[in-house]
Amino acid sequence: MFPFIITIYRFLRSLASGIKDAEFRGLLYVVVIILVTGTVFYHNAEHWHWLDSLFFSVTTLTTVGYGNLVPVTTTGKIFTIVYIFLGLGTILGFVNAVARHASADARERTKLRQTQPLQD
């Protein structure tokens, strides 16, 4: 459980660090817009609850997938195909940006530890 908490802490710290970067903010905004678009679409077209619609949007774009929710309308299936092609690259770009900020934070912490004198 402790490693999970540390991982969440590092992820949140990377997000906080990334918010200062204009490119990172832009990717974050686009990711939010894509997720909101998918959520609204699935809620209206497939008549799913809001949480189910968001869940499907996230699991689809992160390629996790989950078999219980599947679009049944032709419009929903076509939208999903386009949604995956447009959204997957954006999500991967955002994950890459988070990883870059996390590794930059780790390098910075390592440099600080190396430059600080040892205390007796």
Please give the Cα distance from 90 to 58 (Å, whole number).
12
Q: What is the pLDDT of residues 41-79, one digit of tens each?
A: 999 999 999 999 999 999 999 888 877 889 999 999 999
Query: What is the topology classification, in CATH, of domain 21-102?
Result: Helix Hairpins (1.10.287)
- CB within 8 A of 43, min separation 6: which ones? 49, 50, 53
Q: What's the confidence (pLDDT) of residue 120?
A: 53
User: What ranges do the domains of the chain cover?
Assistant: 21-102
The vertex-96 CA angle with 5 and 23, nearest 5°, equals: 110
Please give the Cα distance from 65 to 94 (Å, whole number).
19
Confidence check: pLDDT of 88 > 60: yes
Q: What is the pTM of this model?
A: 0.77
Residue 17: CB atoms within 10 Å = 17
Query: Nearest CA to 26 among 90, 82, 87?
Result: 90
Q: Count the alpha carbons within 13 Å of 99 in the hemisphere toward its beta carbon.
A: 6
Q: Please state the length of the chain.
A: 120
